[in-house]
């Protein structure tokens, strides 16, 4: 049985700060494990000899687990409690990391995908717990501000993860190796690829061990078991006739917004290395581009912390970011011309992909409080529906990969336009819908 729950409003300022710090560490871990996919995709494409579509199965296997696990995670957390459920999540992630070891020894892409799926299962549990937790851990009007702080933790890890992973598994001589692979005989090429893929064994065995230990530590941490289903008498009366989560249109529309938002975010980060490659930039140089995108996302979070709610309403921040996303995507598709910037000689369009990091920064933080507004006792289940939307990370990159193979890497960015169009709709109107109309 879970521990006795407490209302967030009853916590002292000290307990609230400690809770925010602990959850911030969790979001750092989420980011580190998630955003390493930006380097895994091109890495597996080379080592396992994949097409663009096949390589984006990395994102599919990782994020489809959110669709599978989100609702079961809500019931797990309700039965076991916040901290015990978090421990189970960390242990599921550890199992996924350990699966990389036999996958590397056999160079079997499908086993790698199984490991990524298990890591995603653990993250689905953790995200289902942590996002509503931080949303209610303080005044509602400052929810986007707190989520922005969590976003900084998440994206700071995202900056470090591809760079650290690349530093561990890539070598200065690999540029020559990648060029020579096409001219090698089958035996020599297979031996070189086996050696390349087996470099992941030590890093992922280490990560698995750390995640297992973190599961134990979070169970014994001082995090309070918050009541995420509290509602005022007025709200209880308003929701008395509602017996289904589908009676909250703003939540369901918000889940669609999350689905599309995370898809746009992962495309901006996970495709940029390949897009740089299409401009003649090698992997060893291109590995830094995801970090540029994530850095601008962090800049957006910092602006959110400073401006919300004193100078800017949460909903207006969401509106600005979705409109910027639409504008930057059109520039990715239509802007052209080589420029030298930050030590790179690349087409100017790649810098608009980087700027998508800024546009995406406050979208997640803007959607969550709007979608969970007035859910009361349905909050935990509502959060699991929103987390289910993270499977957009699984499906939208595959769509991008399909069009990249069919047309070109640049033209494939057209998939972002309808995504941002819907996000603009939700920011201006969708979050206000309280009943389905015929």
Three-state helix/strand/coil letters over 389-412: HHHHHHHHHHHHHHHHHHCCCCHH
Q: Examine residue 422 and say whether the peptide bond preceding it is cis (omega within 30 degrees of 0).
A: no
Helix (H) / strand (E) containing 235: helix 233-238
Whole-angstrom distance, CA of residue 360 vs CA of residue 427 = 13
- Give the 3-state secondary structure percentages of the chain, helix then strand then coil, rounded to 5: 80, 0, 20
Q: Give the chain's count of helices (H) and strands (E).
A: 21, 2
**Residue 8: left if φ>0, alpha if ψ -120 to 50, beta else—which one?**
alpha
Any idea where the domains of the chain sit in the sequence? 11-225+246-431
Whole-angstrom distance, CA of residue 42 vs CA of residue 285 = 13
Q: Quick count: other Cβ atoms within 10 Å of Cβ 244?
A: 8
Reported residue count of the chain is: 438
Helix (H) / strand (E) containing 346: strand 344-347
Low-confidence ranges of the chain (pLDDT < 50): 1-2
Let me know: does 271 contact 332? Beta carbons within 8 Å: no
CB proximity list for 183: less than 8 A, separation 6 or greater: none
Whole-angstrom distance, CA of residue 258 vs CA of residue 247 = 18
User: Which residues of 73-176 form beta strands (DSSP E)?
Assistant: none
Whole-angstrom distance, CA of residue 267 vs CA of residue 249 = 27
Whole-angstrom distance, CA of residue 223 vs CA of residue 22 = 7
* Per-residue pLDDT at 238: 56
Let me know: does 220 contact 357? Beta carbons within 8 Å: no
- R_g of the chain, CA atoms, integer Å: 22
CB proximity list for 375: less than 8 A, separation 6 or greater: 239, 248, 251, 382
String of DSSP letters for 347-383: ETHHHHHHHHHHHHTTHHHHHHHHHHTT-GGGHHHHH
| Backbone torsions φ then ψ of 340, nearest 5 degrees | -100, 120
* Per-residue pLDDT at 308: 84
Whole-angstrom distance, CA of residue 56 vs CA of residue 62 = 10
Residue 220 to residues 28, 300, 386, 417: CA-CA distances in angstroms?
A: 19, 34, 28, 46
* Per-residue pLDDT at 29: 84
* Per-residue pLDDT at 1: 43
CA dihedral 193, 272, 57, 118 (to 10 degrees): 90
**Residue 49: left if φ>0, alpha if ψ -120 to 50, beta else—which one?**
left
Residue 176 to residues 239, 282, 284, 338, 346: CA-CA distances in angstroms?
A: 64, 10, 11, 25, 21
Angle between helices 109-136 and 57-80 (to 10 degrees): 50
* Per-residue pLDDT at 230: 58
Let me know: does 184 contact 62? Beta carbons within 8 Å: no
Helix (H) / strand (E) containing 81: none
Encoded tokens for 208: 């698995």
How far, in whole angstroms, is CA 336 from its chain's centroid?
Answer: 29
Encoded tokens for 340: 């030298």
* Per-residue pLDDT at 438: 54
HSE, side-chain direction, 13 A CA sphere, residue 185 = 2
Encoded tokens for 147: 């989520």
Q: 3-class DSSP state for residue 338?
A: strand
CATH superfamily of 11-225+246-431: MFS general substrate transporter like domains (1.20.1250.20)
CB proximity list for 190: less than 8 A, separation 6 or greater: none
* Per-residue pLDDT at 391: 83
Residue 340: beta bridge partners?
A: 345
Encoded tokens for 433: 């819908």
């Amino acid at each position: 049985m879970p521990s006795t729950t407490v209302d967030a409003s009853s916590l002292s300022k000290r307990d609230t700060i400690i809770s925010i710090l602990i959850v911030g560490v969790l979001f750092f871990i989420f980011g580190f494990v998630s955003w390493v996919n930006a380097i895994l995709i091109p890495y597996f494409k080379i080592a396992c000899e994949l097409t663009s579509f096949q390589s984006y199965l990395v994102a599919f296997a990782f994020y489809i687990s959110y669709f599978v696990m989100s609702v079961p995670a809500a019931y797990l957390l309700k039965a076991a409690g916040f901290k015990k459920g978090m421990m189970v999540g960390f242990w599921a992630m550890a199992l996924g990391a350990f699966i990389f070891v036999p996958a590397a020894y056999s160079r079997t892409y499908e086993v790698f995908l199984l490991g990524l799926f298990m890591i995603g299962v653990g993250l689905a549990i953790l995200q289902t717990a942590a996002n509503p937790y931080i949303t209610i851990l303080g005044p509602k009007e400052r929810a986007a501000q707190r989520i922005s702080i969590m976003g900084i933790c998440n994206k700071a890890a995202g900056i470090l993860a591809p760079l650290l992973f690349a530093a561990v598994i890539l070598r200065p001589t690999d540029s020559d190796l990648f060029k020579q692979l096409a001219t090698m005989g089958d035996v020599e090429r297979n031996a070189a690829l086996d050696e390349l893929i087996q470099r992941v064994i030590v890093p992922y065995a280490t990560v698995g061990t750390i995640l297992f230990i973190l599961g134990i530590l979070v169970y014994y941490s001082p995090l309070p078991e918050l009541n995420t289903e509290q509602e005022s008498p007025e709200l209880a009366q308003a929701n008395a006739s509602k017996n289904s989560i589908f009676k909250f249109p703003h939540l369901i529309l918000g889940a669609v917004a999350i689905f599309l938002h995370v898809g746009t975010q992962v495309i901006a980060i996970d495709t940029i290395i390949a897009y740089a490659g299409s401009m003649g930039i090698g992997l060893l140089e291109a590995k830094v581009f995801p970090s540029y995108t994530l850095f601008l996302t962090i800049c957006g979070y910092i602006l959110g912390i400073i401006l919300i709610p004193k100078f800017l309403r949460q909903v207006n921040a969401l509106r600005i970011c979705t409109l910027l996303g639409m504008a930057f995507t059109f520039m990715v598709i239509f802007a052209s011309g080589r420029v030298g910037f930050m030590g790179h000689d690349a087409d100017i369009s790649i810098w608009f992909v980087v700027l998508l990091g800024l546009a995406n920064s406050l979208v997640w933080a803007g959607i969550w409080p709007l979608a969970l507004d007035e859910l009361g006792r349905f909050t935990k289940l509502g959060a699991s529906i929103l987390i289910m939307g993270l499977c957009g990370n699984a499906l939208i990159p595959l769509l991008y990969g399909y069009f990249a193979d069919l047309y070109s890497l640049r033209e494939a960015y057209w998939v972002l336009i309808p995504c941002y169009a819907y996000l603009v709709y939700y920011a201006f109107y969708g979050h206000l819908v309280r009943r389905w109309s015929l």
